[in-house]
Chain A
Amino acid sequence: MMHSRAPVNAVIMPRMTEAVVDVRELRKTFRVSEREEGLGATLRSFVSRHRKDVNAVAGITFRIEAGEVVGFLGPNGAGKTTTLKMLSGLLHPTAGEARVLEYVPWRRENAYLKSMTLLMGNRTQLVWDIPAADSFRVLQEIYRIPEEQFRATVKELTELLELGELVHKPVRNLSLGERMKVEFAAGLIHSPRVAFLDEPTIGLDISMQSRIRRFVAEYNRRNGATILLTSHYMDDVVALCKRVIVIHRGRLLYDGPLADLAERMAPYKIITATLHDGAASSADLDAYGTVVSREEGRVTIRVDRHVAPERTARLVNDLGDRLADISVEDPPIEEVIDRVFTSEQTTVSA
């Protein structure tokens, strides 16, 4: 469903002079066929197909400056991957404009393709049956990387990603996490200035997710690469992105600092109080705010953001020696994002 109101709480980013990624009113509409379930509907679809237009991306505008790491957030089907595919040059948009490093991505000029990479967490670009080191050599020739630069880049990536002997095993023999590491190396071997990362940690265990995060941060620091990252793991976003762009149903909902997202979208704070005498004493805490949970002497209270300091001070004062510990935090980012999408859905259906 299309709706035309302005993005909720969107922050209009100032137009600066040098944007690495400059997107204006970008749209992508897919024509898809649909039918009802059942044999009858299947047979009818052979004769007559019902098609409808799906606005995967419904006119988004944003800019990213050189060296930024931006989180691109949205629920499944929000249009994140479609946007990345357009910005990398895989898809032609239905309307709108985009420039990345001054290139129009979907023209796929060689100079542009040498300057960017698209890494998708669940896809492989390496030759399955040979060691990654051999694929690296092929990529060296395709990207025309001088030998000295190639050796230095491989050395750096091997060190950062702790590749070790992995590059000498056939790719098909690597675990998912190991394969993702060599995929990263292959995708970055030409030292791209812009990297589009689509769910780079999907399916990886906690330790490997953390390693990939450290790598992306370090790569950005060392090379000054501009990175646009999608992830359903908020830890990725919190660890890497100072700025986030939130889209839903193809429309931009928020573009601004991650730190401000909670303030704008979740007007409350979470006070967590740990009590020496346990949960039994917490019955009277409702007066301070909404008690969200009580477990083993730890009480979590939600309070309006603007009264949080006063309520915290009162708690400390009133509880006195019963209080073992207290903290005041923004709600978890997952909760904030969920609230953004929920409030958007409510608005649309209203």
Chain B
Amino acid sequence: MIRIYRALLVAQIQAASQYRVQSILWMLFAVIRPVIFLAAWVAVARSQGGQIGAYDVRDFAAYYICLSLVINLVTSWNAYEFEFEVRMGRFSPKLLRPLHPIHYSVVENVVWKLTTIIPLGIILVFLALTFDARFRTTPAHILLFVPSVVLAAALSFLSSWVLATLAFWTTRVHAITTLWDRAGFIFAGQIAPLALLPGPLQAISLALPFGYVLGVPAEILRGGVSVSTALVLMGGQVFWVVVFYVALQRVWSVGVRQYSAVGA
């Protein structure tokens, strides 16, 4: 399997290198939204004496910089790609090879992150200096962030595949995935840090999987939660990863029987 991954990785890097500018533009697009919210929250905080809840201007800067990094590391576009491939008949060849199609997606995701991480890092350092971001991160937070962001990426990837697999029935899943993404916009910690959401919204964020994808690893990296709280939140991540893993197994085995191989 290592040899297969190495070969896929090489091919995907070669393909990605054909569209370097596009990769950078997508990365910038992913950063723009957190930066807009950062600017908005900084303005609101300043108008209210520099503090909202436990966050001052420098905390907001640190949170949204961490969030931008987490978005880049965990976001997966599988559902959109999957729908396109099913609709255009390009998924069928993958089903007919002795390798589960999910492995191609893993590699595509890894390559996307590898090719954008360095320019993103430069932008985030620039933002940190500009907004004088204050990180409360300790070595323990760094140690916890690594598994937390891996769990978040797994959760994002698996949930994306569960949604994508619905294309076996509907052929088009764009509306469903867009609805999912919009829900994530509210509940994942993008519009505001989870701690600043009104009570019911905060409860929903942590009762549903959304908060565990972005808000939790971003707060752990910023050092915004204690180590014990971080461990509890990571327990939630593990729970949702298991739920979506089991769901994917079930949905895949049923869905693949429904596949009508349109256009192929």
Contacts and interface: CB of A to CB of B under 8 A. Distances in A.
Interface of A: 30, 85, 88-92, 106, 108, 110, 113-114, 117-118, 120, 123-125, 127-130, 134-135, 137-143, 170
Contact of A89 (B18, B96, B260, B264): B96
Contacts of B4: 138, 141-142
A128 B19 CA distance: 12
Nearest to B98: A110
B96 A92 contact: no
A127 B93 contact: no
Interface in B232-264: 257, 259-261, 264
Interface of B: 3-4, 6-8, 10-11, 14-15, 18-19, 89-90, 92-93, 95-99, 257, 259-261, 264
Contacts of B92: 85, 90, 118, 123
Contacts of A114: 98
A138 B94 CA distance: 12
A30 B99 contact: no
A128 B128 CA distance: 39
Given A92-B257, A128-B15, 14 more contacts: A85-B92, A90-B261, A91-B259, A91-B260, A91-B261, A110-B98, A118-B96, A129-B19, A130-B15, A130-B18, A134-B14, A141-B3, A141-B6, A142-B7
A106 B96 CA distance: 10
Contacts of B96: 88-90, 108, 113, 117-118
A143 B97 CA distance: 8
Given A90-B261, A137-B7, A129 B14 contact: yes
B15 A129 contact: yes
A33 B260 CA distance: 14
Contacts of A170: 18
A201 to B, nearest CB: 18
Interface-centre pick from B3, B98, B260 (highest chain A CB count, 10 A)? B98
Interface-centre pick from A91, A113, A130, A138 (highest chain B CB count, 10 A)? A138
Contacts of B93: 123-125
Contacts, number: 74
A216 B259 CA distance: 30
A159 B97 CA distance: 25
Given A90-B259, A141-B4, A141-B7, A123 B89 contact: yes
A30 B89 contact: no
A55 B53 CA distance: 64
Given A85-B261, A91-B261, A123-B93, A130 B11 contact: yes
Given A89-B96, A123-B264, A142-B99, A137 B259 contact: no
Contact of A137 (B11, B98, B257): B11
Given A89-B96, A113-B97, A143-B98, A138 B11 contact: yes
B11 A135 contact: yes
Given A134-B14, A135-B11, A142 B259 contact: no
Contact of A130 (B14, B90, B259): B14
CB-based closest 8 A-B pairs:
A125-B93, A110-B98, A141-B7, A129-B15, A113-B98, A129-B18, A141-B4, A130-B14
Contacts of B14: 129-130, 134
Contacts of A88: 96
